Amino acid sequence: MRILTGFFLLCVSTITMASELSVHVMSPRVRETLPAQTVASAYFTVMNHGDKDVLLVSARSDRSPRVEIHEHRHDNGMMQMRKLESLLIPAHGQQVFQSGGLHLMLMDLPAPLKAGETVSVVLQFGDGAELELVLPVQTLQETLQPASAAGHSHH
């Protein structure tokens, strides 16, 4: 569940180590794709137990060439999806990725995601720290229930 990247070889700082211990992800899961669908939404709750704000800057996956941070918002009565360049996880706070709100979007999937498989997603934070999640692929119904997925990643 832990990745040591080249960053740690280049620069081991106390800030990195502090935030590395402060971020915590619960209930990671990704929705299965429908036939001909080439995008999938991933959900989880990311908590920051530290005293400093943490910035989620990007994500990558073994199943998708491009992963974006998206949010849904209502605009003039229309549901719009918007790409975020980064997302702040406040000190002692959390961000909930869930259906109809924040989600990671796995784009341009070369192959469908089927319920029962797992997908690896690596979250990248502003200080260079990374956290790998293993997300079970779930059906639409399952992904609507935040507490249904077991899974817990420490960082």
| Interacting residue ranges for Cu ion, rule: CB under 5 A | 70, 81, 105
Q: What is the closest distance, in whole angstroms, from the C-beta atom of residue 155 to Cu ion in the complex?
A: 24
C-beta of 24 vs 29, nearer to Cu ion:
29
Nearest residue to 104 (alpha-carbon basis) of 48, 25, 51: 25
Kindly report the backbone phi and psi dihedral angles of residue 12, in degrees, each rounded to the nearest multiple of 5, phi listed first. -105, 105
Of 70 and 155, the one with the shorter C-beta distance to Cu ion is: 70
Beta carbon of residue 72, minimum distance to Cu ion (angstroms, whole number)? 7
DSSP three-state, residue 58 = strand
Which pairing describes strands 93-97 and 87-89: parallel, antiparallel, or unpaired? unpaired
| Closest residue to Cu ion in the complex (CB) | 70
Query: Can you tell me whether residue 91 is helix, strand or coil?
Result: coil
CB of residue 18 to Cu ion, shortest distance in Å: 31
CB nearer Cu ion, residue 81 or residue 91: 81
- Which residue, 80 or 148, has its beta carbon nearer to Cu ion? 80
The closest of 144, 138, 105 to 29, measured between CA atoms, is 138
Paired tokens of 37 = 């669908």
